[in-house]
Structure 1
Amino acid sequence: MRCPFCANDDSQVKDSRPTEDSTSIRRRRQCSSCGARFTTFERVQLREVTVVKSGDRREAFDRSKLEQSISLACRKRDVSADRIDRLVSGIQRQVETAGEAEVASQRIGEMVMDGLRQLDSVAYIRFASVYRDFSEARDFEEFASTVQEAAANERS
Structure 2
Amino acid sequence: MTTTTTPTTNPNTAEAKSRFNAALDEAKAGAAALGDEAKLRAGQYRDGAKAKSETWSADAKVKGRELAEDGKTKASEALSGLSRVIDENAATLDEKLGAKYGDYARSASRSLQENAQRLNERSLDELTEDGRTAIRNSPVAAVGIAAVVGFFFARLFR
Settle same-fold status: TM greater than 0.5: no
Q: As a proportion of its length, which structure holds more helix?
A: 2
> Whose Rg is larger?
2
Q: As a proportion of its length, which structure holds more strand?
A: 1
